[in-house]
Amino acid sequence: MQKLSQNNGFTLLEVMVSMVILTLSLLLLLNMAMIAMEGNDWSNNATASTQLIQEKLEQLRTDMTLNSGSDTVGTIARTWNVTTVASHLRRIDITATWENQRGDVLQNSMTAYVRTDNI
């Protein structure tokens, strides 16, 4: 005769508890993955906007046109404003603006001073 008190497997309650724990763990991992993707998107756009700002500053310094303006490169909009500080000194304010995956408008900016030969 076999005893009925032998444990040869898991009870239904143990299986349900382990499934709840597994489900909660997977949901937390999914949330972490979404946060990582948002951070990656922000990082890519911040780096690209900084490069575009530096590119525009070098273009303005090289061409010496020093006019205010705006343009769009990809998903990043750039605006630059040139003001006269002194007879041979110009202030350049460049701002790059983009929209993240949630629809928030973010921006990156730089200010530089450029010496000019003409008045």
Q: Render pLDDT for 82-110 as a digit per residue (tens, 0 to 9).
A: 999 998 899 999 999 999 988 999 999 99
Give the full edge-to-edge strand order of the sheet including 69-73: 69-73, 76-86, 89-99, 105-115
CATH number of residue 16's parent domain = 2.20.25.110
Domain count, the chain: 1
pTM recorded for the entire structure = 0.72
Could you tell me the end-to-end alpha-carbon distance of the chain, in angstroms, rounded to an integer?
A: 109
Q: Is residue 3 part of a domain?
A: no
Q: Position 101: which residue type?
A: Q
Domain extent for 84? 12-115
Q: Is residue 61 part of a domain?
A: yes
Q: Is residue 6 part of a domain?
A: no
| Residue ranges in the chain whose pLDDT is less than 70 | 1-7, 118-119
Q: Is residue 1 part of a domain?
A: no
Q: Tokens 């701002």: give the residue.
A: 95
pLDDT at 53: 96
CA pair distance 64, 49, nearest whole angstrom: 22
pLDDT at 55: 95
